[in-house]
Amino acid sequence: MWELSYKLSTLSYVLLFIAGLCTSSYFLFVHDVHAEQSSNGQASFTITKNFIEINSTTEGTIQTLNIPKASLLFDVIGHTDQNGNLLSISVQRKPELQNLYKDLELSKGSHDAVFVYPSFTQAAYEKGGFYDFYRKNCDSSCLTVPIPTSVNGFQSSSIFGAWSLKLLNYSYVKDEDIDKNPDILKPYKRVIVLHNEYVTKKEFDAITSHPDVVFLYPNALYAEVKADYSSNTITLVRGHDYPDSTVKNGFGWQYDNSRFEYNVDCDNWNFYRSGEYTMLNCYPEFKILHAEQLIRSLQSKDPTDLLDDINNWLRYPNDPSVIAELLSDYDISGKHVPHWVSNSGVLVINNEISKTDFAHLLKYLYDKNMLN
């Protein structure tokens, strides 16, 4: 059983996911709903009949997202009391999308990919933790915090990303699993890193030495902690302006991409290569709920090929091998793509329409047998 708590700002919501690991729906229970800023809150939710409104607050940066419920890959259902106060949110598969899930999910027990749940980051953001120290609300005693015994996640611990992948049968490990046994990642072909901002040196080495790592969230591997399993705690060692303001990334990691951390709408998301790693140019905590192509890219041999393949097709629209490569990105086949689709291809390159819109266009053509 996982128990997940999702802390939401600008209102101090605390949502508790309770889910059986083998079930296909997950529930969030809300407590202490007050019209005030929560100390470590990250996002507030308003769920209406047709939309989900999310006010995301990260380090003082406020962004509002309005997501049509019809576009969601999963049902996100709000439950209220008789006075209309939000009590719980359930997240589950949509019955009408079962065929899509078969395309997106991994087979249970698959070693194709594993994601790393950021339990140490969850601990750092808890009340009385690192961020109270950063805000000068407590002394250095706040730099030693308990390792969570359950998954009580929030935006900063990428909880929606974790549960989206969990619903699609992705295997997972936690930070402490890797710290205790760095070889635990070796059987998996691909490691997907979420917002694992705080990690130990052993975990850092295990992740960065794996041959195929996708950093799905920016700002990962940002600060070093040490773990003490006799007291079940972690302690900040270095990073995030500690021990002094000159220290940013605690590992001095040259591939740090924290500049993308505050882009939470992810409208122009794109995977790119940095060194030997695949990285995303935004914080996809909410985008992952309604971006099919983003999830599909996680199983691509090279997720960064998406825009390259569109560009190649625009240059060589009649080359069979280029057409095959383009269509394979969307898990469809064909021998011909109508010339007029190039207009949409240019719009994707210029960020004027989304990759999901382009994917839907190609899928429509495929369904209508117009790619042969």
Q: Which of 54, 61, 14, 53 is nearest to 34 (CA)?
A: 14
Distances (CA, A) of 78 to 29, 68, 92, 342: 10, 14, 12, 41
Report the b/e string of 57-79 with b at 16+ CB within 10 A: bbeeeebebebeeeeebbebebe
Q: If you average pLDDT over residues 278-295, what whole number do you get?
A: 93
Q: If you average pLDDT over residues 270-293, what whole number do you get?
A: 92
Structure confidence by residue, pLDDT tens digits, 295-306 = 999 998 889 888
Taking the C-alpha atoms of residue 186 and residue 211, their distance in angstroms, rounded to an integer, is: 9
pLDDT at 14 over 60: no
Distances (CA, A) of 365 to 318, 341, 371, 372: 17, 10, 6, 10
Structure confidence by residue, pLDDT tens digits, 48-101 = 888 888 887 766 677 889 999 999 999 887 778 888 777 766 778 999 999 999
Range of lowest pLDDT (18-32, 100-114, 166-180, 227-241): 18-32
More confident residue, 76 or 264: 264
pLDDT at 151: 78
Q: Which of 123, 47, 55, 53 is nearest to 89 (CA)?
A: 47
pLDDT-derived band at 45 (thresholds 50, 70, 90) equals confident
Taking the C-alpha atoms of residue 163 and residue 295, their distance in angstroms, rounded to an integer, is: 12
pLDDT-derived band at 23 (thresholds 50, 70, 90) equals very low
pLDDT at 152 over 80: no
Cα–Cα–Cα angle for 297, 302, 303, nearest 5°? 30
Share of the chain above pLDDT 90, in %: 57
pLDDT at 59: 61
Q: Which of 234, 198, 175, 160 is nearest to 7 (CA)?
A: 160
pLDDT at 102 over 80: yes
pLDDT-derived band at 24 (thresholds 50, 70, 90) equals very low
pLDDT at 38 over 70: no
pLDDT at 239 over 90: yes
pLDDT at 33: 24
pLDDT at 146 over 90: yes
Helix (H) or strand (E) holding 312: helix 305-315
Structure confidence by residue, pLDDT tens digits, 342-366 = 999 999 888 788 887 888 899 899 9
Structure confidence by residue, pLDDT tens digits, 330-346 = 778 899 999 999 999 99
